[in-house]
Structure 1
């Protein structure tokens, strides 16, 4: 069948079952890989079109008033689908609607084979940033004339299908063979298309260019990196002159180059720190261009002295920016070659050896697993990194990936044929040969806490987004243990009759295993699973009963409870300790039996993979034992804070155990800063009231060995920003939460009228965000304003940001992660509303423990901990507004503590000097209108 009919519908709503109706049909016909026909019509739905559909599609009631009904066009529409595939971008939606209409007029339903371009795009373009039609069209360079209109969308879907088919017809034989086995799980009837491609390859001896095949897998050949000889370099001053001066390399590359004195000053400060082997703290305000400022001295230092340097970031977003934007720019600026490598933790990289085994397994294969396997199969023909962050897997696809990541390998044998093909090993080798290794704080902190086993050796490093480094390091010196992870591991090992690891092992090596070895295995495994469940249920109940200590973390939907050994209810807690001891006893016995099975393998010629897997499971069970011991039995309450989180509305065993050092400064001082020659820590937010003392103390940096520098922003904040604080808001302290939220929403509404939306509202509590969202929905005209809220509107942080920028008049409500790292430059953002000053809840377990420690030392916990954290967070939020010299905007702070409280000046003195107006809300709005 070589006829494909593409359909797209515009409807009065999202559900045919709720009697929503079709208002426009667009159909495009493809034959012989060409678009040969099209059909489009409005349809009268016999009901009014909702406003949000009209604003999305531009179709109004008057457009369909005189249009035909579906019944009048039903026969000619049905005739178009004879002997053809039906194609749609989300088949269940379009087919559901069209068949509901056919059923309503008594005609037979369409039962054509279907091809869903959403599903096909996920499989064939696994690296696409989004699978929405408009964004896919942008990504693939398909022109989209009139988005959200049926015929235009149908044309774009048809062109997308032709690209997808072309991509499919370029896949190697091995990939096609695997896809054919998975095809029965897909929504799309892909078998014929795959079989045609397989047939064309079956008798071809031609090797696919750039593709390697091994053990039935096809993957892209990774080019070998060649080492470049060292270069003769100018002095550092001349090197910077050639780049930064008016007629330098930067001005030749950038059309509107503006010399930034702070950028050069930062580069020189970093180079001086490297040369004198000193550590440095550099606060570089927004607009400095700090990424380029630290990359230049790092590369110069590494190449000139032939010594590797590490650059660490907190977010993968910044890593991507460095690799895709900053490093290519620097290659065009500097006159010598250099090598940069990205290294992440093992859990990011796929293990080809594991995947080759799992791709053939049908155990637990559901739709998401089949889709994940298909996406990975195609991605392997494209990736040179093997880093899964390149792919957007379906939600439960990450569970499958966990089974096939390099982290799931125990110890890969260098003699194994897979070793030379390992993406992780290649990433490590590239890092060993690189001048600059880019990594993340998590891997850097793990490396430090594990005595430098993971990263290649280095003496100097730059830590960007350094205000997160203390928190990340604390996590890696602590522990995290949860029920799901333990049960998942025990289930994967399985009992003797399960088709899991132990069951498969017995089948394979039955003749070598003495029966006595496995006599107790099943009983022990059943007991271990039961005790795990019992222990975590016991903890859940214990925490739920400690009402007076409870704090519901609305942002994550969990209740937290800080565990202090000496203060626990002795009888109840002793019962939990007994459960933990029993579980450790069963885990110890399981490890012992696995060790005996491992000895069986020592004596036989066996599959190395099985030996690796046994050792890996032994390691995991040992880690669980160590963590249980560390949490329940270790006597370290003076140095560690321990807490439990339970899912407030989750299963009765949804429990997470955490432990972190109360003070990380000692660990960092001795394990990190004392062992490295020069560590440069930089961020836009390191100081409070122009002092670095808070961050120095938290990181354990000695005054004698540290350079500090504050690089001011090149922006003219006095002319670009107005800070406004209302004096007539209800006081939240006196039980007037609802009144405060109402006043906040009225201010948001009034300001939105002045700035035409284009507003970011930052909350400290998800509960307050939610209440504000529903109140704003009532008072705002939603046909004028797009109201987008984190946790309510669907999508990731970057998706919400894109949606915000798509609409002309948007209001974005955000909490937690929106206080930093969200760049919305230019006219897209004109006002920033900060609802409350971002203090941490005083009963957060880590804050409680750190406060107690400071009080014991005779210090003021508020001034030493709570206030500096809040000021740094506030500065992060403030930094969202002005991202370029041409931006203008208003910062509206609803929290009057910034002017009335004694500590308010710390917030104001920590941001650039800008005009501050304190007045009634009405007068502030008048001023805002005049200023804009």
Structure 2
């Protein structure tokens, strides 16, 4: 069949079962990869079109009032689909509507083979950032003239499908053969397309030079970069002159380069720290260009001085920016080349060996697993790094990832052919040959806590986004235990007859494991019982004390001396009993492994799997003992979080060290020659004293510098604070939320949306969202973290894609969200970002400070809030052309005795403290 008919429908709503109707149909016919026919018609729904649909599509009641009913066009539409595939971008939606209308008008529903371009795009373009039609069109460089109109969407979907067919024609035979096996579990009927490609390859000598294969798995050949070392060795001063001054290199290479005097100053400061074997704290305000400022001395030190440099970041976003933009620019700026490598923890990389085994075993494949496998097969023909973060896998695919990550590889011996195909081993080898290694804070901490075995040896490092390093160290030296992960691990091991890991491993061998199934079942029961008890315990305790996390979970700190409670003693007994069962499982697995080894039934890989499985069970025992059975109140804070309306066993347990300054002092700053810590937010009231104490940096080896922003904040920002908002304390929370929403609505009119609203409480965000939803004009798109679906980056993209949008965020939205230019004109900060005083970690740290005779508010709470506030403030101005309003609803920033700590920690901006109506007039006039 060589006829493909693409359909797109615009409708009055989302579901034909709730009487929603089609208002426009667009159909495009493809034969021989050419569009040969188009069809479009309005259809009268015989009901009003909702305003949000009119706003989205531009179709009004007037457009359809004289249009034909569906019954008048039904036969013409049916005829178009004769002997063809039916294609749509989300087939269930369009075909569901079309067939509902056909049945309603006494026609037979269409039974054509279908192809869903969402599903096919996910498989064939696994690295695309989004699978919405508009964003895919942009990714594929297909012009989309009239989004959300039926014919335009159908036409773009047709062009997309033609591109997808072409991509399929480029895949190697090994990939095609695996896709043919997976196709039965997919929604799209692509067997014929795959089979035709397979047949063509069977009689062809075609061979892609960039692809290799092993054990029936095709993947991209890895190119090893060869670097020529420089002959001349300029002094650092001459080196900087050549970049910044003499030939205007920056101006020549950067179209929008803004002269940044602080950038050279920062480069010189880092060079001085490296040469003097000093540590450095450098606050580089927004606009400094700090990435270039530290990469330039890093490249010089690494190549000219032959000292490898490690650069650590907190976010993958910054890693990508360094690798894709900043490092290539530095390589064009400087007179010699250097080699960089990205190194992450094992869990980030795919294991080809494990994936190949999973491909061979499809007994338990559901739709998500089949889709995940299909996406990975295509991705392997494209990826240089095998890093899972390159690929947008289905949510349930991430659980499958754990089974095929390099963390499950064990240690390869040199004779293993798979060792030469390991992405993780390649990443390590690249890092060993690199001048500059880019990594993340998590791996830096793993390396530090394991006697520096993971990152190739270094003595000098740059830690960017350094305000996160304390938090990362705390999490790394702490631990987490939760029901879902616990049960997931056990389910993967499985009983002796359920088709999971243990059943597959003992397979056809006549191995009997006495008591395994009974012990396994009892262990799972004990886990369920323990976590249910924890959930009930926290629910009961919550009646007396209420701590809520910033994403709405209820928290209970259980290392606070209250554990004489009878229920807690019961919990400890249950935890002890669970460790006995887990030890029994380990004993039984060890016995089984010995039996299989003696009968020579296990290969090296399977032996590694036994070792890793036993280690994972031992890890659970260690965590249970630390959380429940070890008394170390002075060193660690321990707490439980539950979802108030979640499953009755959805409890999450955490432990973190109360302070990490001594850890960092001994394990990092004393071990290394020079650690440079940089961020846009390290100081409070121009002082580094808080961060110095928290990180334990020795004073005698420390340089500090604050690089001012080149932006003209006086002219770019208006800082507005209302003096007439209700006090948020006590019973006034509702009044405060109401006033906040009124201000959001008023400012939205002035700024045409383009507004980011930052909350400190998820509960307040949620209540504000629903109040705004009731009163907001439908022309505004309201997007809220935790309510609107999607990741942080997805919500940000949606915000940018709508002309008039308001984005409500908490927690992670206070930083790392870059929305430059007119896309963001107004930032509202609802409350000063103090941690709740009963937050478990804050409570424990505050208690420790009080015991030392210190003031916990000024030593801990206030500095953390100021740094967080600076992060939030930094969302607004991202370039010298940006301008906008910061509206702070919390009058404490003007009235409290500590107010100047906030106002003197941000750039100097004009501040207005006045009534809300006066502020709105000021905002209107200023815009």
TM-score (norm 2): 0.98
Aligned to 2:883: 888
The within-5 A match list for 1:682-831 is 682-783=678-779, 785-831=780-826
Preserved CA contact (<8 Å) 1:744 1:835: yes
Matched, 1:589 2:584: yes
2 CA distance for matches of 1:889 and 1:206? Answer: 57
Aligned to 2:349: 349
Preserved CA contact (<8 Å) 1:790 1:800: yes
1 CA distance for matches of 2:222 and 2:732? Answer: 62
**CA distance 1:707–1:603, change in 2 (3 Å):** same
Aligned residue for 2:907, secondary structure, equals: coil
Aligned to 1:637: 633
Q: Select which of 509, 519, 528 maps to 1:524.
A: 519
2 CA distance for matches of 1:310 and 1:477? Answer: 21
The within-5 A match list for 1:115-130 is 115-130=115-130
Preserved CA contact (<8 Å) 2:549 2:839: no
**Structure 1 position 707, deviation (Å):** 0.5
Matched, 1:625 2:621: yes
2 CA distance for matches of 1:908 and 1:342? Answer: 39
**Structure 1 position 828, deviation (Å):** 1.6
Matched, 1:475 2:475: yes
**CA distance 1:912–1:7, change in 2 (3 Å):** same
2 CA distance for matches of 1:831 and 1:120? Answer: 39
Preserved CA contact (<8 Å) 2:550 2:760: no
Preserved CA contact (<8 Å) 1:245 1:259: no
Preserved CA contact (<8 Å) 2:212 2:221: yes
CA deviation map 1:643-668 (0-9, x unaligned): 11123222222222111100110111
**CA distance 1:566–1:832, change in 2 (3 Å):** closer
Aligned to 2:866: 871
**Structure 1 position 549, deviation (Å):** 5.2
Matched, 1:298 2:293: no
Matched, 1:672 2:668: yes
2 CA distance for matches of 1:859 and 1:390? Answer: 47
2 CA distance for matches of 1:667 and 1:627? Answer: 20
Preserved CA contact (<8 Å) 1:70 1:101: yes
* Structure 2 alignment gaps of length 5 or more: none
Name the Cα RMSD after superposition. Answer: 1.5
**CA distance 1:168–1:893, change in 2 (3 Å):** same
Matched, 1:535 2:530: yes
Aligned to 2:839: 844
**CA distance 1:19–1:552, change in 2 (3 Å):** farther
Preserved CA contact (<8 Å) 2:658 2:841: yes
**CA distance 1:599–1:225, change in 2 (3 Å):** farther
Preserved CA contact (<8 Å) 1:550 1:559: no
* Structure 1 alignment gaps of length 5 or more: none
Preserved CA contact (<8 Å) 2:642 2:650: yes
2 CA distance for matches of 1:571 and 1:780? Answer: 51
1 CA distance for matches of 2:925 and 2:496? Answer: 78
The within-5 A match list for 1:467-506 is 467-506=467-506
Aligned to 1:25: 25
CA deviation map 1:730-760 (0-9, x unaligned): 1111411111111111111222222222211
**Structure 1 position 227, deviation (Å):** 5.0
The within-5 A match list for 1:80-91 is 80-91=80-91
**Structure 1 position 232, deviation (Å):** 2.7
Preserved CA contact (<8 Å) 2:5 2:28: yes
Aligned residue for 1:251, secondary structure, equals: helix
**Structure 1 position 925, deviation (Å):** 1.3
Number of corresponding residues = 926
Preserved CA contact (<8 Å) 1:831 1:892: yes
Matched, 1:607 2:603: yes
Preserved CA contact (<8 Å) 1:480 1:656: yes
Q: Select which of 652, 655, 670 maps to 1:656.
A: 652
Preserved CA contact (<8 Å) 2:319 2:438: yes
Aligned to 1:571: 566
**Structure 1 position 256, deviation (Å):** 4.0
Aligned residue for 1:497, secondary structure, equals: coil
**CA distance 1:549–1:454, change in 2 (3 Å):** farther
Matched, 1:929 2:909: no
Preserved CA contact (<8 Å) 1:549 1:561: no
1 CA distance for matches of 2:844 and 2:561? Answer: 14
Aligned to 1:38: 38
The within-5 A match list for 1:200-349 is 200-226=200-226, 228-229=228-229, 231-245=231-245, 247-349=247-349
The within-5 A match list for 1:142-181 is 142-181=142-181
Name which of structure 1's ranges 93-102 and 546-555 shifts more when overlaid on structure 2.
546-555
TM-score (norm 1): 0.97
Matched, 1:544 2:532: no
1 CA distance for matches of 2:825 and 2:489? Answer: 50
**CA distance 1:497–1:143, change in 2 (3 Å):** same
Name which of structure 1's ranges 272-281 and 885-894 shifts more when overlaid on structure 2.
885-894
Preserved CA contact (<8 Å) 2:10 2:149: yes
1 CA distance for matches of 2:436 and 2:692? Answer: 26
Name which of structure 1's ranges 454-463 and 222-231 shifts more when overlaid on structure 2.
222-231
Aligned to 2:433: 433
2 CA distance for matches of 1:906 and 1:33? Answer: 65
1 CA distance for matches of 2:535 and 2:345? Answer: 32
**Structure 1 position 322, deviation (Å):** 0.6
2 CA distance for matches of 1:812 and 1:488? Answer: 35
Aligned to 2:903: 908
Preserved CA contact (<8 Å) 2:127 2:391: yes
2 CA distance for matches of 1:660 and 1:521? Answer: 35
**Structure 1 position 496, deviation (Å):** 2.4
Name which of structure 1's ranges 6-15 and 772-781 shifts more when overlaid on structure 2.
772-781
Preserved CA contact (<8 Å) 2:309 2:458: yes
1 CA distance for matches of 2:542 and 2:369? Answer: 41
Aligned residue for 1:732, secondary structure, equals: coil
1 CA distance for matches of 2:181 and 2:212? Answer: 21
2 CA distance for matches of 1:479 and 1:665? Answer: 18
CA deviation map 1:175-203 (0-9, x unaligned): 11111111111111111111111111123
2 CA distance for matches of 1:898 and 1:32? Answer: 67
Aligned to 2:101: 101
**Structure 1 position 552, deviation (Å):** 5.4
Name which of structure 1's ranges 285-294 and 729-738 shifts more when overlaid on structure 2.
729-738
CA deviation map 1:35-77 (0-9, x unaligned): 1111111111111111111111111111112221111111111
2 CA distance for matches of 1:45 and 1:123? Answer: 36
Aligned to 2:57: 57
Preserved CA contact (<8 Å) 1:244 1:259: no
2 CA distance for matches of 1:305 and 1:656? Answer: 48
CA deviation map 1:816-848 (0-9, x unaligned): 111111111112222111110000111110000
2 CA distance for matches of 1:682 and 1:213? Answer: 44
Aligned to 1:899: 894
Aligned to 2:677: 681
**CA distance 1:537–1:414, change in 2 (3 Å):** farther
CA deviation map 1:77-120 (0-9, x unaligned): 11111011011111111111111111121111111110110000
